[in-house]
Chain A
Amino acid sequence: MKVKSWLRLFGLLTAAVFLFAGVLVWYVDPFFHYHAPHTERFFYPLDNERSMNDGLLRNLDYDAILTGTSLAACFKTSELDALFGVHAIKIPASGASYFEINKLINTGLDTHPDTKLVIRSIDRHMLLYGAEELRDDLGEYPDYLYDRNPFNDYKYLFNADVLFTRCLHMALDAARSDSVPGMTSFDDYSNTMAEYRGAFGLPNIENMFHFDLDAVGEPMHLNEYDRREVTRKIQENVIATAEAHPDVTFYCFFPPISLGYWRDRIALGDIYAQIEAEQLAAELMLRCPNIRLFDFTGREDIISDVNQYRDLMHYGEWINSLMLKWMRGDQYRLTEENYRDFFADRLAYYLAADYKALLTQERWHCDYYAAALLNEELTGIPPRPLGDDALRDGRLSLPDAGAYSYLCFEARGGKPGDTLVISVYDENGACLSTAEETYQVDDWQRFAVDLRTATGPAEVVIDGGEELRGFGLY
């Protein structure tokens, strides 16, 4: 073969395959870098925060932003929309620094000037120890997806993961006759409840303590350097953005992490510095008229209940739902008048708390039982006991299921490892959900059935329990 013909063939073919890949990735655009998703044609899974968040912020329609770390990941935009009358987008950034989250917020506000509301978590543990800018331990930060420089887009357009694992699979899915195009809902985006199913309560919390429960460290207070750093962090990454957008209301909140978290702080001795840092951050934020600041750690019934947590920090999604409601109702809001007393009260409470009692709490085994007990506060609907013999032939008719969120009961009869299959059907016999629960003790065990998918009458079928009792709607 002649050399020039070889070079021509090689060049043309190389150009052709690169062109094909580039056009395909540009068109499908699984990270929303170029345009809004073609949800009429493909299904877009939301499963990669760092790669997708910037594109979502730039190319979707919304007028409210719900963002924060993993402590904000279980929020549901549907609840936010209903409570605040907005059309929100959720931008979770697990483990992200204040800087990274603020960068995302600025992208949203710059591209969507009509944004009315921003809700963001202020992770208290990052005030003193958090990363300064972008955390590189979370993986390489895909700059090429965040800048507008077309000359580095080759990393996105010609990328094996993007082309083979996303675009071509999405195209193959779309070609199936039973395909349902769309996108993961923002309620589900990064919602980790399913991933951590069964992880709530003891013994997970017990394993999280790093120090002896009696250990008390040398008291450490905020020094001048710390004060400067906390001030800079909050000023640059929270207040500056709020001041630049005076028409936007910023709902900032210190998440209600577990009481157990403070045990390690006492052991290290830096609990004083931590509370002082929080107070300083609050003081700075409260000066900004469009920031509404909340701290929910005053809910001692929640933070001292290990069944609400899967580790020392992460609470169940029902706490996120409650936080939205509390923020809407201005509950647990910090003001210039109350914040000093609040933090003094918190410090006294943490120092006097009985941490050993955390380890003797009863474990509820079923994650959502904790949610059911708090549901009246969320919905305003009191629980309705159904009695011990509400079950007929393994079935339970619930004409008013749509008004409640959970069906709770106790069961006995299985040995640890045996399963209980619970299915929920609507009035037309369509299956709304099926869950397989596991017996973990050889005794009465609580179970909670999620009824949130039921909008009207429902029938619950329970397969697997020998003795069941204590039915109730929550």
Chain B
Amino acid sequence: MQFNSYEFILIFFPLLFAGYFLLNRWSRTLGRLFLTGMSAWFYLWYGLASAPVLLVSLAINYAAAALIARNEKQARLVLTLDVAANIALLFYYKYMPFALANVNYFLNTDFRVSVVLPLGISFFTFQQISYVLHVRKTGRNESLPDYLLYILFFPKLVMGPLAEPGELIPQLRDEARARPDAANIACGLKLFCFGLFKKLLLADVFASAVNWCFSDLASATAADIMLTMPAYVFELYFDFSGYSDMATGIAKVLNIDLPINFDSPFKALSIHDFWKRWHISLTTFLTRNVYIPLGGNRRGTLRQYLNMMTVFFVSGVWHGANWTYILWGLLNGALSVAERIVDRAQIRVNKALGWLGTFLAVNVMWLLFRSNSVGQWLAMLKTMLRCESLSVSPALLGCFEIQETALLARLLHIPSAGAASALLFYAAALILCLIPENNFRSRDRLTPANAVLAALAFFFAFLHLGGESVFVYFNF
């Protein structure tokens, strides 16, 4: 199920809210079981195809956690085997076709495999790894219901934010969080409304422009690609951060605090700074479970740089089975290392230049992320650099002309609604990214102005629910 659907807003969430808090009054255990069951329903909404993989993953990891907790001597071995099994599962479903395609290419063979990627496998697999590491660290396995609720908790199940068991499980058990809290409801609703608006009225509009350009790259002009590049950056940001806002907001209504995932990433003054603000829960996971175990910055400068490259390589591989993701990860790693070298040399970079350089680098690298191949990315960069045609295709501008802007253009007697709409969207996106405090940071602030804005955001977003709209990270 998606947050941005009639089913979720009109049926699932009201039912969950009422059922969860009513059952909590009677029995906290029943309330949590209900929440677990509803989370499973949320996950399996589109069918049972993903169920076997999730069940296998749950069985293996809970069994491994039990062994780790029970037998200190074998804990290390079991942990290693379990992490390997999780990675193998992820590898099989996400990378097997890609790996075989490369084997076939280099060895001239014809191996084939057909797999259907289970929903949210990248996220729940990392949550499983977090859980067994948590058990290894604390030496205590949680009860099966607690474990199941931790993994299946629906707001973060398919797209994060990745939550640490040590932070989430105590909240899910906390008796003080069993009753509805007006402040949490208000803050949660506000976050949800703003997230829904970001997804449906910003991300989806930018997405239509990006899809238009990628569907006919041969006829796209240099100006088209120049506009498409930031459009994809905005699409991805509003899509993913919108989802995170909704997830955090829904959890907040249920009195659960999920970690921050986006902290105004486009205010970053360096790539290193950017990664402290973008998909924070993933960066935190990789830092905690890859960078630090590899030695972090404790084993010399060169080793630190290698560790940084490794973390970004893993991030690239985690994102998908394509050389574009791997190169994207390595480029981010290389730039981070370069920044560290400049830092060490105590070279000061002007803040404005730092911001501009970071924004441009992020744009270029996310274009690679969106491209179907490295060759396609290079071709797009070449078209931009050649600057042969700086005219913008009317069809691209037309992607920004949504129902509201067409009406607005008519009321204001603006003849070319497409161009005006495009300008409006890019300006609004930049302002939202650069000026106000982000939704997560300001989540507890309740003012008349944000009550009005939240109501209007919900209204406009609801009007757009009828269209087809899937989150980008549903594919990861």
Contact = CB atoms under 8 A, between A and B. Distances in A.
Q: Do A and B come from one complex?
A: yes
Interface of A: 1, 3-4, 6-7, 9-10, 13-14, 17-18, 21, 154-155, 158-161, 163-165, 168-169, 172
Given A1-B446, A164-B403, A10 B186 contact: yes
A17 B403 contact: no
B459 A165 contact: no
Contact of A7 (B185, B402, B459): B185
Interface majority SS (helix, strand, loop, mixed), chain A? helix
Given A1-B446, A13-B455, A14-B458, A163 B186 contact: no
A13 to B, nearest CB: 4
Contacts of B462: 18, 158
Contact of A9 (B406, B451, B459): B451
Interface majority SS (helix, strand, loop, mixed), chain B? helix
A43 to B, nearest CB: 15
Contact of A164 (B404, B446, B452, B454): B404
* Candidate in A10, A154, A172 with the most chain B CB atoms within 10 angstroms: A10
A81 B419 CA distance: 47
Interface residues of B, number: 30
Contacts of A169: 407, 410
Contacts, number: 74
Interface string B399-438: 0001110110011000000000000000000000000000
Interface in B2-24: 6, 10
A6 B406 contact: no
A154 B406 contact: no
B276 interface: no
Nearest to B446: A6
B279 to A, nearest CB: 30
Contacts of B447: 1, 6
28 contacts: A3-B186, A6-B186, A6-B447, A6-B448, A9-B451, A9-B455, A10-B454, A10-B455, A13-B452, A13-B456, A14-B455, A17-B456, A18-B462, A21-B459, A154-B6, A154-B10, A159-B463, A159-B466, A160-B460, A160-B464, A160-B466, A163-B403, A164-B403, A164-B404, A164-B463, A165-B403, A165-B407, A168-B407
Given A1-B446, A10-B451, A164-B404, 12 more contacts: A1-B448, A3-B182, A3-B446, A6-B448, A9-B452, A17-B455, A17-B456, A18-B462, A154-B10, A160-B460, A163-B403, A164-B407
Q: Can you list the 3 inter-chain pairs with the closest CB atoms, starting with the nearest?
A: A164-B403, A13-B455, A160-B463
B84 interface: no
B19 to A, nearest CB: 20
Contacts of A6: 186, 446-448, 451
A227 to B, nearest CB: 36
B183 interface: yes
Contact of B410 (A14, A161, A172): A172
Contacts of A168: 407
A13 B182 contact: no
* Candidate in B403, B407, B452 with the most chain A CB atoms within 10 angstroms: B403
B5 to A, nearest CB: 12
B317 interface: no
Given A159-B466, A172-B410, A14 B459 contact: yes
B362 interface: no
B189 interface: yes
A158 B463 contact: yes
Interface in B234-255: none
Interface string B179-202: 000110110011000000000000
